[in-house]
Chains A and B, each alone.
Chain A
């Protein structure tokens, strides 16, 4: 999960307070280390989506006492920033998630914009999440493909890793 110089990295329980504290920390660090205000804004925006995605989808790992377990990394690359998240997903959710990411990755900039607007205008949002706009937004804002993998953990869970690169 590691590339470049780490700005923030975390492994453990994910809850609303942790995300709020992390975003504050990221903002402080970016303020200090990243000169261009629009780059800071973009990174912050993408981190908000990534962390809230994680927050809405973290699953407990059975028999380990690890509740709401997740991982995230933000690091600096020579030419941009690397953002990665990881969490357990039930294997039953894998086909839908995979299909969705593959679709996003197959679209160009204009198609992504149209897809975003379509989902925004047509999909009902659950109490839980943003109705599936998060991943589309991450792809739009970074201009990056969504790199992902599913690593089998046991019969019912896969570890889902997602990463993007934001080129400066």
Chain B
């Protein structure tokens, strides 16, 4: 299985997904008008990865901005991870937010209350 690396743009995040280390990173901005198209390869990759995952999968989400069109796609990503967890594999989602950014912290907590995967809220201090 291959690495998935997508370079960030002003509208879309940097994505790094490594099947050998079990590390997934989504970082930057996610504000495309149509997010479904952007997130499709990520969802497909997770589908394939779920066939032979690492014992432990670490997911780092560090978003500066995301729009509501992306929020549903991010939920879909988390649902794939929830399935992995359900199949007895360790999964941890690290949700990064800028110091005092309550909107971003709250967004992470919204996901945490919907998805049955452990979340760790991590404040980024300058």
A contact residues vs B (CB 8 Å cutoff): 16, 19-20, 23-24, 37-38, 41-42, 44-45, 48-49, 52, 55-56, 113, 116-117, 120-121, 125, 127, 129-131, 133-134, 136-137, 141
Of B20-28, B87-95, B98-106, the one with at least 4 CB within 8 A of chain A: B98-106
Residue in contact with A127 in the complex, picked from B34, B68, B75, B103, CB distance below 8 Å: B34
A-B contact pairs, 23 of them (CB 8 A): A16-B33, A19-B33, A37-B98, A41-B98, A42-B103, A45-B65, A45-B103, A48-B31, A48-B65, A49-B68, A113-B110, A116-B110, A120-B71, A127-B36, A130-B68, A130-B72, A131-B72, A133-B68, A133-B71, A133-B72, A134-B68, A137-B71, A141-B103
When distances are taken between beta carbons in the complex, the residues of chain B under 8 Å from A120 are 71-72, 75, 110, 114
When distances are taken between beta carbons in the complex, the residues of chain B under 8 Å from A42 are 103
Contact with A along B23-44 (1 / 0, CB 8 A): 0000000010110100000000
Q: How many residues of B contact A (CB 8 A)?
A: 22
State the Cβ distance, A23 to closest chain B Cβ, in Å.
Answer: 8
Nearest B residue to A136, CB-CB: B68
Q: A38-B98, A120-B72 are in contact. List 8 more A-B contacts (CB 8 A).
A: A41-B98, A44-B65, A116-B110, A117-B110, A120-B71, A125-B69, A133-B68, A137-B71
With A48-B31, A113-B106 as given contacts, are A24 and B71 in contact (CB-CB < 8 Å)?
A: no
B contact residues vs A (CB 8 Å cutoff): 10-11, 31, 33-34, 36, 64-65, 67-69, 71-72, 75, 98, 100-101, 103, 106, 110, 113-114
The answer to whether B72 and A48 touch across the interface, beta carbons within 8 angstroms, is no
State the Cβ distance, A16 to closest chain B Cβ, in Å.
Answer: 6
State the Cβ distance, B67 to closest chain A Cβ, in Å.
Answer: 5
With A38-B101, A45-B103 as given contacts, are A129 and B69 in contact (CB-CB < 8 Å)?
A: yes
A125 to B37, CA, bound (A): 13
Nearest B residue to A133, CB-CB: B68
When distances are taken between beta carbons in the complex, the residues of chain B under 8 Å from A125 are 36, 69, 72
The answer to whether B36 and A52 touch across the interface, beta carbons within 8 angstroms, is no
When distances are taken between beta carbons in the complex, the residues of chain A under 8 Å from B75 are 120-121
The answer to whether A52 and B103 touch across the interface, beta carbons within 8 angstroms, is no
State the Cβ distance, A41 to closest chain B Cβ, in Å.
Answer: 7
The answer to whether A130 and B71 touch across the interface, beta carbons within 8 angstroms, is yes
State the Cβ distance, B65 to closest chain A Cβ, in Å.
Answer: 6
When distances are taken between beta carbons in the complex, the residues of chain B under 8 Å from A133 are 68, 71-72
